[in-house]
Chain A
Amino acid sequence: MIGFTIRRIIQAFVVIIAVMLLVFLLAHVIPGGAARAALGPRATRLQIAQFNRLNNYDRPIIVQFWLYIEGLIWHHNLGYSYHYNQGVTAVIQERLPKTLVLVGISTILALVVAVPLGILQVVRRNKPVDYALTAGSFIFYAMPSFLLGTLLILYLAVDVHLFSVEAPQGQTVGSILADPRGLVLPEVTLAAITIASFSRYMRSSMMEAMTEDYVRTARAKGANTTRVLFFHALRNAIIPIVTLLGLSIPAIVSGAVITETVFNFPGMGLLTYQAATNTDVPMLLGTAFVATVATVIGSLAADIIYAVVDPRVRYAKR
């Protein structure tokens, strides 16, 4: 297990470096490049050359990449965004907590709703409740999040003034949490779609657990349905959900691009989108770095949690 963990951590570093290199290359293909984006369409050739020289953009890409990684490791510096006139790290530091709040709450909300729903579906399987919930999860899974978000805004914020049309715009996390009227709709949008898939996951996982031998044994020993359900089946059925949570980490960190755009929520997702459309290359690289690290850590965490929670899992030596 320890050997496995060490191997995975080394692998994780390699993956992060490789992804960064790829994103780095990709970002440099963006037409016009960083200089055009920062200086505007009327910049002279001389200005552009000067800018490129100043930012090392005239050096070979691999040298640029090395300088970038060096700055990252020694100075925790992700570069400077001319669009925001701020260091990339500073902007991300401001945005990241907000996204953590938004997606974190919705993930917890989804979990709290989806697990009982999945259990309910198994208890009432092939009954109207089960069919209705299954239909609901199919529809929400298929619904583009921006459609759901827009419909919620239309009916609950415009027609009935229950909630705000826009997400809270405050500078700090505190001010965002202080405005629940603005926070509810984005949370519900994100949660609804997550619930749709979590509950399907929970249902099938629980259904499978109910057919296992240990459930039959428990029944034979005289355990009642409630005990079998919550003590024997649920404990095993919840394992995939724990893994899912580990895999949700990247989403919690990198934000929800679509939902954040719909509600104009000042988080990482909106930042990524705006960086791409503004050709804000340093910012784009910064958000990609954060998202990649989160993804790698998330899947690492999922692997480890899985092995810890489920003693049947033993990682094969390779």
Chain B
Amino acid sequence: MPNGDHGDEFRGSAVPRLPLEPGIGDLSSMISAVEESDYSIPEGGEATTSGGGALRQVARVFVENKLAVVGLAVIVFMVLFCWLGPVFYSTNQTNAQQALVSSTANTAPSAQHILGTDNAGYDMIGRLMFGGKNSLIVGLAAAALGTLFGALYGAISGFFGGWVDALMMRIVDVLLSIPPLFLLIVAAVIWHPSVLVLILIIAFLSWLIPARLIRGETLTLRVREYVQSVKVMGGSRRRIVLRHIVPNAIGTIVVNATFQVADAILFLAALGFLGLGVQPPQTDWGSMLSNGVNYAISGYWWEIYPAGIAIVLVVVAFNFIGDALRDSLEVRLQQR
């Protein structure tokens, strides 16, 4: 269920990730797991274009794919909204006492509070910016950390092969067999959830799939002619991994990272719902939502829709970008 996950097929058929109903766990991750470990046949073939063109290719994706542009626009808007927003729309978001003095709790949208206030008297628009920062930071940082570590782990495992590979991949198997939400809950109960702890916990769940993907990619890359020729010419292992294998796997890495961000944001929201998200007076979109859920039954719709819509928008946006990147990778592979 982390969620994440495109097996050998990351580049082929669009393998959608399975639902993150946390608890369900990331099925697709297991799929890729299955495919990677048992079905994939290392095949020789042409190398993808080298790293130099990667940026240009990414740029081309955005020119060609309208949905990717929409996704990017949504993300840029959200980032500006959360970080620059408070500059223009300054609200108190940390002083609980002052919040109740200067405004009342649960007020409906009005001229003073365009989206009303929450149950603690905080202005909802300000809260959305304040919580959005944490949601986006945790999502991006957890995905980046997880992907980075996973890619390195996978590249090393695949490149060395043999018993090193077997051992490293069995560790991944074991960790993938633990239901992700179970790990999240236990970890969040053990360590008091702060932004940093949440990043680390979610990253710990996010590195497994990239590790598997990159390991599979490395297996096919290391037997290719240009890698072999570097070996023959006396290139060091480090050079081969860093200059030849990683740049050629960068497409897979980037595509996967994009989906990991979306999943990390959903994971954080799920934790927020269980009361294990960022703790007050800090907040994140999931915690806001979970807070609002208790009051929505009284008709306070403004306490759930803003955060709910923000989560859906951002997750959809990252999925749009991920799909577009993967499609372009697939097309590029097909064209050759």
Contact = CB atoms under 8 A, between A and B. Distances in A.
A15 B173 contact: yes
Contact of B21 (A145, A276, A284, A288): A145
B185 interface: yes
Contacts of B14: 200, 204
Contacts of A164: none
Contact of B293 (A146, A269, A316): A146
Contacts of A197: 16-19, 28
A165 to B, nearest CB: 9
Interface size class of B (residues with CB under 8 A): 35 or more
A10 interface: no
A158 interface: yes
Given A29-B190, A250-B25, A259-B21, A139 B297 contact: no
A158 B21 contact: no
A23 B22 CA distance: 18
Interface of B: 12-25, 27-28, 30-31, 33-34, 38-39, 41, 170, 173-175, 177-179, 181-183, 185-187, 189-190, 262, 266, 269-270, 273-274, 286, 289-290, 293, 296-297, 304, 308, 311-313, 315-316, 319-320
Contacts of A316: 38, 41
Nearest to B311: A144
A243 to B, nearest CB: 6
Contacts of A141: 16-17, 19, 315, 319
Contact of B177 (A15, A103, A153, A272): A15
A142 B296 CA distance: 21
- What is the predominant secondary structure among interface residues of chain A facing chain B? helix
Contact of A143 (B170, B181, B312): B312
Interface in A135-176: 137-139, 141-147, 150-151, 153-154, 158
Contacts of A204: 13-16
A104 interface: no
Given A26-B186, A291-B179, A244 B21 contact: no
A19 B296 CA distance: 40
A121 interface: no
A306 B7 CA distance: 15
Given A144-B266, A247-B30, A257 B19 contact: no
Given A144-B269, A190-B21, 8 more contacts: A153-B297, A208-B12, A247-B30, A273-B185, A277-B185, A277-B189, A299-B33, A306-B39
Contacts of B33: 299
A257 B185 contact: yes
A303 B38 contact: yes
A192 to B, nearest CB: 9
**Residue among A158, A247, A254 with the highest chain B CB neighbour number at 10 A:** A247
A41 B82 CA distance: 41
Contact of B289 (A144, A247, A269): A144
A302 B34 contact: yes
